[in-house]
Amino acid sequence: MTLKIDFEALKTLSPAEIKPIQVLDEQGKVVAPELFPDLSDERLVELFKKMLWSRILDERSTKLNRQGRLGFFAPTAGEEASQIASEFAMQKEDFLLPAYRDVPQLVMHGLPLEKAFLWSRGHVLGNQYPDDLVALPPQIIIGAQYVQAAGVALGLKKKGSPNVAYTYTGDGGTSQGDFYEGINFAGAFQVPAIFVVQNNGYAISVPRTVQTAAKTLAQKGIAAGIPGLQVDGMDALAVYTVMSEARKYSAAGNGPVLIETLTYRFGPHTLSGDDPHRYRTANEENEWLQKDPLIRFRTYLDAKGLWSKEQEEDFTAQVNEEITEAMKKAEQAPKQKISEYLKNVFVETPQALEEQIAKFVAKEEE
């Protein structure tokens, strides 16, 4: 197997040697042709459309939240290259363990959009997945999915599966114990797991430089004996290449990989009260806006004659209609009952809980 990246060499790099991989610069020019992904023109356009879909979903979800029609929502604008291009490199049978900001990848992986809306609204039906969806619901606890991913990957290895488990966390997640336990376990058992750290610079309002003295987050993989690398998280082509190569390496039985994507959330941490203007400067935000992953990729495709303003307008209208229909379905779901929620807590319901369920059922029937 020939790979574009020498993952074995990454296990022993010094922190000073870790540099972000980039394929497209901020002007949409190819700067590393040797790392250009093996994607046809049609697939490149498909990748851009999925990123645009995610940006539109972010905008519509924000409005729906403000209208009181959605519940919890963590904005994703700015992170499309990190989220969508990494998901684009995976297979449907690979096991996804997302965090709460990773709903776009989950929908791309096969979750009906109305289910994602129901999850946001706290409805139990939002956690009932199609049988062929290989994923868990988004993790709310910071970093906990890293331990789960290591365990799932061990299961895949024991079954002789050709697939991998992959998971995401933010830079703040790497300050949690679960992060270290997960990557250490994965390294010790050489399991097929890919750990993605979406470094957007802040754990809510705490700057990354305050969270850890480490120069990079990728180097934390080296301590666990696994390859750790950095990628320009605003560059979709670089993210795709890195994730695709990491998948090949890990699925071939070489063990886990840790990928740090350098990215930025344009909006607040969540829509539950965070105000980024209290801890970020206008200059900093403007600097990152110049790196917008959609503008960079659109410029590249436009220069190749693969994308146009008319295509974007038609696609945008199509996505907005899709979102409207999904929201209608979510709002037509039966009103959630407390008894039904409690029935989903355990596989075998304890007697004490059965008594509570019976009380709620009686009250709900009044």
Q: Which residues are catalytic?
A: 265, 269, 279
Q: What 3-state class would DSSP assign to 279?
A: coil
**Tokens in use for 297?**
């990729």
Q: Which of 109, 110, 102 is nearest to 82 (CA)?
A: 102
Task: Go through 127-146 and write b for each residue having 16 or more CB atoms within 10 A of its CB, e for each that does not.
Answer: eebeeeebbbbbbeebbbbb
How remote is the C-alpha of 2 from its chain's centroid? 27
CA quadruple 235, 209, 220, 215: dihedral positive or negative? positive
Task: Please give the backbone phi and psi of residue 292, each rounded to the nearest 5 degrees, phi first.
Answer: -45, 120
Q: Taking the chain, what is the end-to-end CA distance rounded to the nearest angstrom? A: 66
Q: Which amino acid is at 12?
A: T
Residues 228 and 209: their CA atoms lie apart, in Å, by: 19
Question: CA 222: distance to chain centroid?
Answer: 22
Q: How far apart are CA 152 and CA 12, in angstroms?
A: 26
* Count of CB atoms situated within 10 Å of the CB of 110: 15
Residue 123 CA, chain-centre distance (Å), reads 22
For residue 335, the 8-state DSSP code is P
Strands 206-207 and 202-203: antiparallel
Pairing of strands 206-207, 95-97: unpaired
How far apart are the C-alpha atoms of 336 and 287, rounded to whole Å?
A: 45
CA torsion sign for 244, 250, 254, 257 is positive
The three-state secondary structure class of 268 is: coil
- For 28, counting Cβ atoms within 10 Å of its Cβ (0-12 exposed, 13-18 middle, 19+ buried), the class is middle
